[in-house]
Amino acid sequence: MSKAYNNLVERFQKIYRLQHLGSIAGWDQAANMPSGGNNARSAALAELNTLLHQLITDQDMDYWLKEAEKDTPDHDTRCSLAEMTLEYQKANIIPDDLVRAQTLTSNQCEHAWRTQRADNDWTGFAKNLQEVVNLSRQEATIRAEHTDTSAYNALLELYEPGVNTQALDTLFGDLKTWLPGYIQQAKDKQSSRKTIQPTGTFSQENQEALGLDVMKLLGFDFDHGRLDVSTHPFCGGVNEDVRMTTRYSEDNFVEALMGTIHETGHARYNQNLPKDNPELPISFYRSMSIHEGQSLFFEMQLGRSSEFLSLIQPLIVKHLCHGKQAPFASLDNLEKIYTEVRPGFIRVDADEITYPAHIILRYEIERDLIEGNIEVNDIPDLWQQKMKDYLGLDVAGDHKNGCMQDIHWPMGAFGYFPSYTLGAMTAAQLFAAQKKAMPDITDQIRQGNLTPIFDWLQENIWSQGRRFSTSELMTRATGEPLNANFFREHVKQRYL
């Protein structure tokens, strides 16, 4: 291996180790830090992010990358060098002062959002969000000028390489043609069935014990990760130390349990990425649609299946019913609860069929916001109109359950939302491929043998890192690039 390539490896190892500290500081900020510590923590993270930016944009990097290109002896090294080059190029066009400003501003906005959302304080939130949007537009403009694309496409590329608004508009346009009909058909089909909603108090302690048992069932490695509580569930940390969070409501366990299963899907992906040189970009996750594909595979494809629910039903009885059978915890009723189609305000609590409508709504708003076609203060009215159009719901004035519900915009994560629906389609296609490769897979799940599923994901997705593009990765795993028809067929089979 050339000296230049070895220098690059050393630099990316240093960056990864500092990112490790930053990710744990970010987890602590969300899960443990006293509110009064936010200004100091934000300043510390801004300092760290600026240092990381300087390390990857150092002038030596350009020289090393060019020298290493002259001596790349094998395919994997060439792939690794290509990913290093991409990371350098993405960072090099952004100035240090913008990195610092974005870190400070997004941290301030997200921290204030935690209480502003609870207070339904749109006015206070909008003021902070405007600053985040201003800086995101600056970044988008810089990236767009260097890549000859639109502002929103430039941000979308950070999460979904190779995907653009033209492709999304076509995909979501097709969804709009059949999704409303499927929602209505499913509601009509379910209208006569009786579902017993959970009643009682489900303590956070008992829900956590249930979640931990389910995480064990799903293969989570507790020697390299943990579960905590935050305002918005997430999966962070690093591959060797994964930090998962969820949130609980003591009058209803349904959402917290599926939220935990969702984040476990993210965690299993992180914990099983390539072990050789985990510090190098070639070992990172492929894209956010692949990442969300793992979490939605766990939550939707597997987690809401009758076979998996039969596995966790005894655990629900054990932890939430004091070991005694309760009508709401019967297997038949749990299946009804977790396949109930009911348009609601909250994205993370949405069922499989209405979920894409939540994503389309957010995508259309954030696309126009970054492109400058709308402004921050236009968001509530647009949200209200789109909720009426897509889900038939009136959310006027209820910003807490409307446009203030997600953490993504306060964090400045514009371009992320489409990954959820792309991920749902990815999950459906992956499970279809597994069923084809292993015709008895549903019987295996019912018997509690989940190992074949995890082995298949490990071989085809998790262990591949960034060795292939998203399209190549899906083709190698399933025989074809992402195909939305698998999701449509899954919805039809499960609900209609």
Residue closest to 473 by CA, chosen among 239, 293, 264:
293
The answer to whether residues 317 and 367 touch, using CB atoms and an 8 Å cutoff, is no
- Inter-CA distances, 213 with 216, 257, 314, Å: 5, 11, 11
* pTM of the entire predicted model: 0.97
Packed helices 254-271 and 204-217: angle between N→C axes, nearest 10 degrees: 40
Give the CB-side neighbour count of residue 120, counting CA atoms within 13 A: 8
Degrees (nearest 5) of the Cα angle 261, 398, 111? 60
Q: Which domains does the chain have, with CATH numbers?
A: 3-158 (no CATH), 166-495 (1.10.1370.30)
**Distance from C-alpha of 385 to C-alpha of 374, rounded to nearest angstrom:** 14
Which of the following is catalytic: 131, 208, 263, 352?
A: 263
How many CA atoms within 13 Å lie on the side-chain side of 22? Answer: 19
Show pLDDT as tens, one digit a residue, over the chain (496 residues): 789 999 999 999 999 999 999 999 999 999 999 999 999 999 999 999 999 999 999 999 999 999 999 987 788 899 999 999 999 999 999 999 999 999 999 999 999 999 999 999 999 999 999 999 999 999 999 999 999 999 999 999 999 999 999 999 999 999 999 999 999 999 999 999 999 999 889 999 999 999 999 999 999 999 999 999 999 999 999 999 999 999 999 999 999 999 999 999 999 999 999 999 999 999 999 999 999 999 999 999 999 999 999 999 999 999 999 878 899 999 999 999 999 999 999 999 999 999 999 999 999 999 999 999 999 999 999 999 999 999 999 999 999 999 999 999 999 999 999 999 999 999 999 999 999 999 999 999 999 999 999 999 999 999 999 999 999 999 999 999 999 999 999 999 999 9
State how far the Cα of 366 lies from the Cα of 266, in Å rounded to an integer.
24
Residue corresponding to tokens 């910003």 = 399
Q: Is 103 helix (H, G, I), strand (E, B) or coil?
A: helix
Confirm whether 263 is a catalytic residue: yes
Cα gap 215→299, rounded to integer Å: 12
Using a 10 angstrom Cβ sphere, with 0-12 exposed, 13-18 middle and 19 or more buried, the burial of residue 275 is exposed
